[in-house]
């Protein structure tokens, strides 16, 4: 390191849903870039598998059900105890409801499970991150919500959080992702329900491209923010179909 270079400041991220898919890819990207990362998810064994992909990385696996307030509180306590602060929350934990079920036949339990995980879980994690980011020194941090291309409720939450965070140097943005190649989207390549009622395969993109986008958003100075970003497989049938 020469005199014109400065020492790299250690940064800490909390990544939910880090045991697979997009969460794993983002966690690995951040660890390889020198971030300390708290890996949150329902299954400790898959979190440990993620950590093992970057054996030299500073990671912490914390079993977390984001729909449970006590789990989320324990996640942030463990993160701060280990790393001292929280600079980034990647709010990524999510699940799909049953596909192709008419609204009048959708079980309420299935609806509640999706809302509790995708929306309420995002709120609980953001709330815990806010508390920490407001109190730590130096103050501030960043929250990135994984919205997907149809996340209307989460988009409203992102806007509200973004406004509330301004006085405290808390930047909030959202990444909407279309057809990244993960286990959850494997069915897209064999056949997915289209707007016209037909079943057809859809193109996918490398999940590493999503991870690099999240890292770019995460490493901006807090004076700059990507409010909304859409990253999708170029040829997926989304643009113009409604």
Question: Tell me, what's the pLDDT at 191?
Answer: 64
Q: Is residue 5 part of a domain?
A: no
Residue 5 has pLDDT above 60, yes or no: no
The number of domains in the chain is 1
Residue 242 has pLDDT above 90, yes or no: no
Q: Is residue 242 part of a domain?
A: no
pTM of this prediction exceeds 0.85 = yes
Residues of the chain with pLDDT > 70: what percent? 84
Q: Is residue 3 part of a domain?
A: no
Q: Is residue 194 part of a domain?
A: yes
Contact 191, 138 (CB under 8 A): no
pLDDT category of residue 2 using cuts at 50, 70 and 90: very low
- SS3 label, residue 99: coil
- SS3 label, residue 231: strand
Contacts of 108 (CB under 8 A, 6+ apart): none
Q: Is residue 119 part of a domain?
A: yes
Q: Is residue 6 part of a domain?
A: no
Contact 123, 160 (CB under 8 A): no
> What's the chain's average pLDDT?
88
User: Per-residue pLDDT tens for 185-233?
Assistant: 656 666 665 555 666 667 788 999 999 999 999 999 999 999 999 998 8
Q: Which of 37-46, 53-62, 109-118 has the lowest mean pLDDT?
A: 109-118
pLDDT category of residue 1 using cuts at 50, 70 and 90: very low
Domain of 144, CATH number, reads: 3.40.50.720
Q: Where are the alpha helices (DSSP H) in 13-147?
A: 21-32, 44-52, 69-83, 108-115, 121-135
User: Per-residue pLDDT tens for 220-230?
Assistant: 999 999 999 99
The mean pLDDT value for 43-64 works out to 97
H/E segment holding residue 208: helix 207-218
CA 90 to chain centre: 4
Instruction: Domain of residue 225: give its range.
Output: 12-232
Q: Is residue 239 part of a domain?
A: no
Considering only CA atoms, which of 200, 180, 183, 182 is closest in space to residue 191? 200
Is 195 exposed, middle or buried (CB count within 10 Å of its CB: 0-12, 13-18, 19+)?
Answer: exposed
User: Per-residue pLDDT tens for 58-114?
Assistant: 999 999 999 999 999 999 999 999 999 999 999 999 887 776 688 898 899 998 988
Report which of residues 180 and 211 the model is more confident about. Answer: 211
Q: Is residue 109 part of a domain?
A: yes
């Amino acid at each position: 390191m020469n005199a014109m270079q400065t020492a790299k400041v250690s940064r800490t991220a909390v990544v939910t849903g880090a045991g697979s898919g997009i969460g794993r890819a983002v966690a690995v990207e951040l660890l390889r870039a020198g971030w300390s990362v708290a890996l949150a998810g329902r299954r400790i064994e898959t979190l440990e598998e993620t950590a093992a992909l970057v054996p030299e990385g500073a990671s912490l696996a914390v079993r977390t059900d984001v729909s449970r307030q006590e789990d989320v509180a324990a996640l942030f306590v463990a993160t701060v105890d280990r790393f001292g602060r929280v600079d980034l929350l990647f709010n990524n934990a999510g699940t799909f409801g049953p596909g192709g079920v008419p609204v009048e036949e959708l079980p309420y339990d299935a609806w509640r499970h999706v809302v509790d995980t995708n929306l309420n879980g995002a709120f609980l994690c953001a709330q815990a991150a806010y508390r920490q980011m407001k109190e730590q020194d130096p103050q501030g941090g960043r929250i990135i919500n994984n919205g997907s291309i149809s996340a209307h409720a989460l988009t409203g939450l992102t806007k509200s959080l973004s406004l509330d965070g301004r006085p405290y140097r808390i930047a909030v943005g959202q990444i909407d992702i279309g057809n990244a190649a993960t286990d959850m989207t494997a069915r897209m390549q064999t056949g997915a329900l289209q707007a016209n009622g037909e079943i057809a395969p859809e193109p996918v993109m490398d999940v590493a491209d999503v991870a690099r986008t999240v890292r770019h958003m995460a490493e901006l100075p807090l004076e700059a923010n990507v409010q909304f970003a859409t990253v999708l497989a170029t040829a997926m049938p989304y643009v113009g179909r409604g």
